[in-house]
Amino acid sequence: MASEWPNCRLDQLAAPVAGSIAIGPFGSRMKADCYVAEGVAVIRGSNLGKGRLLSGDFVFITDEKAAELGNANLKPGDLVFPHRGAIGEVGIVPADGHRYALSTSLMKISLDESRVVPDFLYYFFTSASGRAELLRNASQVGTPGIATPLKSLRECVVPAPPLRHQRSVVQTLRCLDDRIDNLRQTNATLEAIAQALFKSWFVDFDPVRAKADGREPEGMDAATAALFPSEFEDSELGSIPKGWPVGGSDGLLEIVGGGTPKTSVGEYWGGDIPWFSVVDAPANGQVFTLDTAKKITELGLANCSARLLPPMTTIISARGTVGKVAMAGVPMAMNQSCYALRPRVEGGEAFIYFSTLRFVEQLQQIAHGAVFDTITRESFKRIITFLPPEQTIAVFGLMATPLFERIRANGLQTASLAALRDTLLPRLISGRIRIHEAEKAIEKLPT
């Protein structure tokens, strides 16, 4: 990244206090038996890499244990970096009122805020140039790691523009990140609403229970309530709504296989048709896959067994990393290690998606004591489930599909915002684009 600004070593920007650059505690000081239900959150590599907000599951230690760890305690604005495992990632400790500490595989720097804006360096280390600095002394043999991690961190070369420019860069990039975070949080809420409705109707059977008790089901009109029986019956699955037959899950869905064009034919690859493999599955808590690492051409699609899948198709990985579930956000094909699951009922896409998440849990239970390494068409026949009436699935779709469409639209907007941010970031950091030019680009985006 050619820069208009002077560079300096990272340790020149460290806070002038002892322990401002430090590594996490040795494993013997942070064993699993130190963890408690709540307390000081321990940041691990799995909490990094998904934007400014720390994410994923945290483990916790007591205040007393944290006090024993000295420099492994963190304060708002500290930057944290894995030196083992998820190397090349960076996180920034938020000012959210919670306490945080380093895990054994992380290191930190507390910065001199009279010389540098912490968020500016955070953004630098998310750029290609910043990541390259972090990985200069990386080893990919065995578990990825950084040799002499603290020395490597101290010697990272970073840009050092005037504080005024740093603050302007951060403000511009934070504007984009805040919009991205808001869209992601909105999507999490929308999915939770749809999932709660699915659980109420098809897991807890709330409408049936209400009618069995002589009550009107909550939150639905008379026509919708009439879709549900007023009593239960015994089945091999236990108590289920009366009249709902039991059968294999393949009775609910059409199973579609994938395929791979010949990799030796260059004309089949590098097109504009997304080609899904398990590496493209969305992160936990997200629904849609909107882009893929590899793409194929129309010719490639025509010369393999894959089909073009419409948006809202559920995809499940069937070999290798088994049981990853995604929903196609755009038309795409997929490889032969996956199955596409299409509803037999028009409008049943959301029902199939949530049902598939439950089927994965059942498949894992079926494989208990064995390796869960393959899903076949036969697997779906072995999953015994109740088969709700088509009209009930269709009405659920009328309620859930608009929520999924909003999630998909928000995801596409998030991708546009992230692409603009990633384009602007290195240019803003280096000074090759001025703030007012970046602001004009942001103003052109739809709100």
Please report, for residues 185, 196, 421, the alpha-carbon distance to residue 189 in angstroms, rounded to integers and kept in the order given. 6, 10, 24
For the chain, give the percent of residues with pLDDT over 90.
76
Q: pLDDT tens-digit profile of 161-212?
A: 999 999 999 999 999 999 998 999 999 999 999 999 999 999 999 999 999 9
User: 1-10, 224-233, 309-318: which range is least confident on average?
Assistant: 1-10
Give me the residue label for tokens 């945080």. Answer: 100
What's the token pair of residue 58?
A: 């945290």
Report the predicted TM-score, pTM, of the whole model to 2 decimal places. 0.84
pLDDT for residue 371: 61
Q: Which residues pair with 251 in a beta bridge?
A: none
Of 116, 125, 114, 62, the C-alpha closest to 89 is: 125
Q: Are 237 and 388 in contact (CB under 8 A)?
A: no
**Angle CA 309–196–54, to nearest 5:** 80
Q: Is 53 exposed, middle or buried (0-12, 13-18, 19+ CB in 10 A)?
A: middle
Segments of the chain assigned to CATH 3.90.220.20: 7-160, 250-387
Chain segment 206-262, per-residue pLDDT in tens: 999 999 999 999 989 999 999 999 999 999 999 999 999 999 999 999 999 999 999
Q: What is the pLDDT of residues 262-296, one digit of tens each?
A: 999 999 999 999 999 999 998 777 899 999 999 99
Predicted confidence band at 139 (pLDDT cuts at 50, 70, 90)?
confident
Nearest-angstrom CA–CA distance, 378 and 149? 49
Q: Could you tell me the CATH superfamily of domain 250-387?
A: DNA methylase specificity domains (3.90.220.20)
The residue with tokens 């919009």 is 179
Residue 26's pLDDT is what? Answer: 81
Give the end-to-end CA distance of the chain in Å, rounded to a whole number. Answer: 31
Question: What mean pLDDT, rounded, does the chain reach?
Answer: 92
120: nearest Cα among 369, 428, 333 = 428
Chain-centroid distance of CA 44 in Å reads 16
Q: Which CATH class is domain 7-160?
A: alpha beta
Q: What is the pLDDT of residues 15-74, one digit of tens each?
A: 999 999 999 998 767 878 889 999 999 999 989 987 777 887 899 999 999 999 999 999
Cβ neighbours for 73, distance < 8 A, ≥ 6 positions apart? 40, 66, 67, 99, 100, 101, 102
| Amino acid occupying residue 257 | G
